């Protein structure tokens, strides 16, 4: 393993994600991020991550994914980029509230606008790095985990 890799000591293989990101295949990399996150928590494609699993998502894996996105997008995309935008918008991750239905709180609406997520569905995400707003990707967690992905913003690992 070279020093260029950010893989944690975990059984999940991040090489496909790294390859897709290095090639600028943002849509495919976003989907691979979803698959990798499912694998980390022991779930299969087509499933979704539960709120408890997101809250307890292993920091090493979260950082591995984040660092790859940051590196290959030149600091434009990544979980920590999204969290910084959220906090810079004077939002407190401690106050982040999510109803059991997965609906985001009013405090998060401005964040959604800043990262360009005010859309109807996942297919509306922008996968062109020159047109997507900072923090727009990865978007898989916000759209594929039925809103419970918002728990990522309060994860202490990022």
What does the block give as tokens for 110?
A: 């401005």
- Check pLDDT > 70 for residue 9: no
Global pTM?
Answer: 0.82
pLDDT, tens digit (0-9, with 9 covering 90-100), for 52-76 = 888 889 999 999 999 999 999 999 9
What does the block give as tokens for 39?
A: 């694998």
Question: Among residues 6, 8, 3, which one has the least CA distance to residue 60?
Answer: 8
Spans of all domains in the chain: 12-152
Q: Mean pLDDT throughout 29-37?
A: 95
Distance CA 48, CA 44 (A): 8
Polymer length of the chain: 158
């Amino acid at each position: 393993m070279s020093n260029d890799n950010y893989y944690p000591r975990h059984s999940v293989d991040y090489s496909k994600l790294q390859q897709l990101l290095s090639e600028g295949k943002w849509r495919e990399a976003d989907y691979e991020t979803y698959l990798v996150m499912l694998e980390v928590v022991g779930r299969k494609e087509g499933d979704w991550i539960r709120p408890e699993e997101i809250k307890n998502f292993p920091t090493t894996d979260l950082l591995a994914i984040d660092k790859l996105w940051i590196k290959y997008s030149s600091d434009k995309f990544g979980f920590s980029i999204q969290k910084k935008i959220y906090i810079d918008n004077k939002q407190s991750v401690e106050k982040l509230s999510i109803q059991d239905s997965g609906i985001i709180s009013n405090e998060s609406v401005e964040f959604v606008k800043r990262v360009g997520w005010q859309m109807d569905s996942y297919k509306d995400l922008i996968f062109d790095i020159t047109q997507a707003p900072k923090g727009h990707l990865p978007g898989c967690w916000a759209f594929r985990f039925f809103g419970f992905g918002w728990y990522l913003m309060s994860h202490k690992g990022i």
